[in-house]
Structure 1
Amino acid sequence: MRDWARAHPIWTGIAALLVLILLYLILAVWPEWIDSILRSKKIFLSALFNGITLGGLYFLVASGFTLIFGLMRNVNLAHGSLYLMGGYIGYYVSYTTGYWLLAFPIAFVVVGFVGVLLQFFVFRRMEGEDLRQTLVTIGISIVIADLLLWVVGGDFYVITPPDWLSGPLETGIITSQRVRSSGEVTNFYLSYPMVRIVIFCASVVIGVGMWLLLNRTRIGMLIRAGVDDRDMLSATGARIQLVFAGVFAFGAGLAGMAGVVGGTFQSVAPGEDIRFLLASLVVVIVGGMGSIPGAALGALLIGLAEQIGSIYFPTYAVVLTFLIMVGVLAFRPQGLLGRT
């Protein structure tokens, strides 16, 4: 980070200025002219925090996708269907057992096992054949989506979090003030759903853990070496197919866990697989293939663009997301944090 800041002093200054402006908008009591431009501080902060927490959800989906697509060069367009499968599994586990937390490991294991089957029966036989992988996984995603529709129907399912996560959290951030006739000032504070904050913090922990795994462990070294030169790594005696199967299982399992998160945030329903597959593609393109920090940055930008755009530019919210992608492709095709 320091090396990047020294090499790009102008961009570093711009980023620091934007951070200061954002901190002012969050912490300060707004004057009337800012309040009139941005409607109200409460609306702005709700959109901001919704965008950040939605970015956490996008990161959970896209981090598994960037492992499979960015690191292993496997084009898995059935990744959105794995997300949807995890959401349905999480709903039925939490509904039948009453334990919300139990849905996460079960969705991770079941969807991860499906990922191993995909790697063994599909990708292992199509190494380096991107077009065949694309067409086959599109067909697999359609089959999985139709099977899920046949089994669970077309209803919307919402995963209910436990009671200790159901209420709002008082953030201590002042949204507005009212001055009474006696001169006493009353502050109004922003409350935000506890479950969104907890799940966002969990996504940050998972992201840091993945980065440490890939960059500070022997397993991460084997994965990166296998991507760069598979034949050389095989010559050392490493069981590269076992390593890649484990990576594929982990990436698919993350998609399954993200389905539980998505069902808790919003809902699980047919069509969500396509939505989150497209979001994952955009996040990986913006952040950079194979980069965990890039996936985090891309997910944050896309989440903020969707939520803030839906409030201030409702007609062009989707266009704003793709404008970010087009801008990145035009000026930095490898992604914001991708390798040159």
Structure 2
Amino acid sequence: MAKFVRVLVVALLLSLVIFPTASLAEKGDFYEKNKTFFEEPGNLDDENRSSNAYIEILKNYDDDSQTIECGKFQVTCHIYKFIFETGVSAMEFIKEIMKKTIISPTDIIQNPLYERYQDGLFALSKTVLAIFIVFNMTKIMSLRMADADDGPIVMNEKLVSIFVICVFLFLYESIIHWILNFQEKLMTAIIDTIQTEKMVENMITNILLSPGVFAFITVLVIGIILVVLTLQFFYRIALVAILYIIGPIAIVTKINDTYNFFDFWLKQFISAFLTLAIQLIATAIGLQRFFERPQYFGDTTNLFIGTAFFILAVTLPSLLGQWGLSTGSARSVMSGAKTIARVAIRR
């Protein structure tokens, strides 16, 4: 059975390479629209001359359907077609879903699934708080009976902690709602700077105006990075949901000296939004650089700067250290990019 599956997979891959995909694309549309750009006098010298193979592929590319039409036995063309269209699919996948990375207060607070678990932990937190208060008051009284000089100081600290706990528990929903509402307005302002209309088309056009077949590899790498970034965004949303659920238990532990998770919980709650906001800013700037048309054939300044901002956004959690939990996806993307580059060089 396993052997049959392997044979089937190999046959499927060969069919993708040998037989062209049916398409309504008009060959040469993209090249004809940008023909003057490729044939400018300054682009025809030996340093900037585009390869004949790249030009031939561009003549078979239609920017409306974003597909490349290849002959049955044009193996190299099919390889670049597969790489290119995979990258385009990745970009199309994340184009609209990026808007959903904004966390609305109702997505967390009024979510029936989250509320079910949070209500149970909220009820448990009252019992845990009572146990902690009795334990700490007994400990303080023991210190006073032993004539400890710091007994009143410790008692004052515990009273302050109890006051903070009561405020957080009493206003828990309101505090979380205020934090989520603030980040929603901030994230919306950042997302609105991204031109999602014809986003992929503009990015692909400007990338293909870069020299050589490496542009096809770039499309795939950028698509993978954007997918990983989107996964990181949703990872932050899942983290916020978990922090909201366990919040009541973490708050009541503030009174305990040994198992005080309140500071850790609050730090992670804030760091999740801080990391997400900075990642979105880096992503928005990177996309803006890709929207800028090259000034001449061979101008890769915006291409490299935009890619640098995407890589920065992926690695930001690890760069921020404890202020942003790292998912390890940055290392995976870098490893995958090296593999793709190595395969492309061998081709």
User: Taking structure 2 as the reference length, what is the TM-score of the superposition?
Assistant: 0.29
Q: Which of the two has greater strand per residue?
A: 1
Kindly name which structure, 1 or 2, has the bigger radius of gyration based on alpha carbons.
Answer: 2
User: Taking structure 1 as the reference length, what is the TM-score of the superposition?
Assistant: 0.29
Tell which has more relative contact order, 1 or 2 (C-alpha 8 A, sep 6+): 1
